Amino acid sequence: MPPDIGDDRSAVSAALGGRQAGFTWLMDQHRTAVFRFARGQVGDDGEALDITQECFVSAFAALRRYDPARPFRTWLLAIAVNKCRDWGRRRAVRRFFAFAMPLDDALDVRDAAPDPEAALGSAQQVARIRSALAQLPATLREPLVLCTLDGLDQVEAGEVLGISRKAVETRIYRARQKLSELLAENSPE
């Protein structure tokens, strides 16, 4: 390893200067974290490896937009979050078409959707939860969403947010308390 590369900032500078050593250093430092995050999202080692590769390709293509005032791993994990979401959307589309049947056969398929009243009640409950979630301060909402909805563990969420695991744990606890209060205040009579 060249002596002038010892941290993310110098590695990014080297990579932007076209030096392979900068790219290599960044990959060596961060690929395990990105792979672990992706595997946690998709549950499959092969898919996680593909996502990790896509993440680094995208990161290196956008390296000029990286803000060196922010931690590189946070920036990289934000790209990984988007890649995992893209993977989820592609997977949903593939699953939809895998189960698609010819139109003539589909005419006899019963609609499994809930009746309109149940759907309305469910939609109203979801709207109440979304509204309450939107009322939370960002400092409470972000770790709650990362851990509960996006499936990150508290250490990973802390890395993405630039805070400690304990701070993530505390904020999630407070977010759940506040969310319960907001839902209780706005509950239908």
**Using an 8 Å Cβ cutoff, are 72 and 66 in contact?**
yes
Percentage above 70 pLDDT, the chain: 81
Q: Give 177's pLDDT tier (boundaries 50, 70, 90).
A: very high
Domain with residue 77: its CATH number is 1.10.1740.10
Query: Are 153 and 168 spatial neighbours (Cβ–Cβ below 8 Å)?
Result: no
Q: State residue 120's pLDDT score.
A: 63
The number of folded domains in the chain is 2
Domain-terminating residue out of 101, 119, 147: 101
Q: 149 and 79, same structural domain?
A: no
Answer whether residue 110 is part of any domain: no
Q: Is residue 116 part of a domain?
A: no
Question: Quick one: what percent of the chain has pLDDT higher than 90?
Answer: 33
Phi, psi dihedrals of residue 114, rounded to the nearest 5°: -65, 160
The verdict on 19 and 65 lying in the same domain is yes
pLDDT computed for residue 79 by the predictor: 92
Tokens describing residue 100: 């698609």
Q: pLDDT digit string (tens) for 123-143?
A: 777 778 878 887 888 888 888
Name the residue range of residue 138's domain: 127-189
The pTM of the whole model exceeds 0.85: no
pLDDT above 50: residue 1: no
